[in-house]
Amino acid sequence: MRKIKNYYTLRINIYLSSKNQKLTLLMIDYKDHSYLAPILKFFDQIGIAYQLTQITEPMFLPGIRIQDGILLIDTEHLLYPGDVIYEAGHLAVAPPEVRPKLTDPIKEQLDFDEATHEMMTLAWAYAAAIKSEIPLEVLFHPDGYKGQHLQIMQGYQSGMYIGLPMLQWLGMAYDANNAHQLGEKPFPEMKLWLRPPSIK
């Protein structure tokens, strides 16, 4: 797998017969703003508050800021639509009593340590990308994740769900074993997209 400008080049071998092989190239532009529409439609469905606006306050990621429980999105400065999903995850897994006032920088406002919160957010973002039918290459883009984007993406694709144990503890999602016992659908299906108020 290699990167050309803003694109992933994914090589998929399709065996047509024992003697024939066809090579298909799938090009995904992870900066394409057209992915924003299905992401925002998904937010509307699950209750993530967002606003398309000009942002003048400091931003941790280009074109995105969490302020008073609302995900502000400045499309003029937004570089990576996948980052919108990830930042929404911070709101989704935040305690419900904190969510309405959550504002960047969010670190001191959380009830879990930063590493735990980030793992929960990562798992939520993966499930959200699947549900909103956004290519994982858009979420796990090569300009983020400290160069570990491929390892993280491939880990989730192989069923190594970083952050799922915490989502399960919160009652938001279940692994295969618990889902079977409870009659629920397993992760990446979510029982709840927003953290409930009963557990801190």
pLDDT digits (tens, 9 = 90+) for 56-103: 988 889 999 999 999 999 999 999 999 999 999 999 999 999 999 999
On whether the CB atoms of residues 32 and 26 are closer than 8 A, the answer is no
Q: Where are the alpha helices (DSSP H) in the chain?
A: 36-46, 81-93, 114-131, 136-139, 149-157, 164-169, 176-182
Among 145, 129, 137, 116, CA closest to 43:
129
Asked if the model's pLDDT at residue 196 lies above 60, the reply is yes
pLDDT digits (tens, 9 = 90+) for 105-141: 888 888 888 899 999 999 999 999 999 999 999 999 9
What's the predicted TM-score (pTM) here?
Answer: 0.86
